Amino acid sequence: MKTSTHKYLVRLKLMVLVLLLVMLASPSVFAVTFPIPSLQLNVETAKTPEEVVVVLEIIALLTILALAPAILILMTPFTRLVVVFHFLRQAMGIQTSPPNQVIMGLALFMTFFIIKPVALEVYEQSLNPYLERQLTYDKAFEQAQVPIRKYLLLNTRENDIALFVKGADMKKPETREDVSLLVLIPAYVISELKTAFIIGFILYIPFLVIDMVVASVLLAMGMMMLPPVMISLPFKLMLFVLVDGWHLICGSLLKSFGV
């Protein structure tokens, strides 16, 4: 019995050795049939001005992509939406529901919905003509600023613009359209934060009333050791569901941007 097992193992080893020799002798049999692309990066001296322009455009594009999250947050309705949703969650007393991913996703898609007309106008007046070589880079950049500036001015307070104009120590613009984007963007951000805090304060009022009523009832009943949050939370959820809270809040936020 042991002899037959030993012979079987010897034969198996010989078969494996033969297969290895065949693979080494004829690697084309096991060659990969699909092509593998190669990537080459070369650093060479630019010989024409056009090559320098292409390099600068690539650098500018990479810079814009790196700053895309900041641009999305600071130049769109995303700031107001996220702050209001977080205030709502804090006012209801539910710290982790809805989770952050849901709040960020809802704010992101509402941002796309609100900013869509501005993005389409930028594409039609600036980006598409530039890609079709109908406009130069400078002219396309100027055309793209028009709808963006119009949107920012519509949602920015004049006193916030005056604050940054004075801080920049620049000449007072004759019209609102003459305001630089370097001044307009931070003014827009603090205007959005102020509006979001006002909406958050209004959201707090009904839930604060419920907390005060529940705390007064528990104190009158002598249940001082029972946390009022445990009793008020179901009433807050019931009130929020009965008035269709998400519909009201999202609708009010859309109307605040003129949508």
Residue 55 — very low, low, confident or very high, per pLDDT cuts 50/70/90? Answer: low
Taking a C-beta distance cutoff of 8 angstroms, is the pair 227, 217 a contact? no
Residue 4 — very low, low, confident or very high, per pLDDT cuts 50/70/90? Answer: low
Taking a C-beta distance cutoff of 8 angstroms, is the pair 94, 241 a contact? no
Which sequence spans correspond to the domains of the chain? 72-203
Residues 6+ apart with CB under 8 A from 141: 126
Between these two residues, 83 and 41, which has the higher pLDDT value?
83
Residue 89 — very low, low, confident or very high, per pLDDT cuts 50/70/90? Answer: confident
Spatial distance between the Cα atoms of 15 and 56, rounded to a whole number of angstroms:
61
User: C-alpha angle with apex 64: 155 to 139, nearest 5 degrees?
Assistant: 75
Between these two residues, 229 and 47, which has the higher pLDDT value?
229
User: C-alpha angle with apex 193: 191 to 194, nearest 5 degrees?
Assistant: 65
Alpha helices in the chain (DSSP H): 2-25, 49-66, 68-74, 78-92, 100-122, 128-131, 137-154, 158-167, 181-220, 228-242, 245-256
Residue 174 — very low, low, confident or very high, per pLDDT cuts 50/70/90? Answer: confident
Taking a C-beta distance cutoff of 8 angstroms, is the pair 93, 229 a contact? yes
Q: Which two tokens stand for residue 34?
A: 């699909």
Sort 82 into a burial class: Cβ within 10 Å, 0-12 / 13-18 / 19+.
buried
Average pLDDT over residues 24-48: 53
Residue 230 — very low, low, confident or very high, per pLDDT cuts 50/70/90? Answer: confident
Burial code (b: 16+ CB inside 10 Å, e: under 16) for 229-254 equals eebbbeebeeebeeeebeeebbeebe
Taking 60 as the threshold, does the pLDDT of residue 104 lie above it?
yes
Cα 174 vs. chain centroid, distance in angstroms?
Answer: 34
The reported pLDDT for the residue numbered 31 is 47
Cut 0.95: pTM above it: no
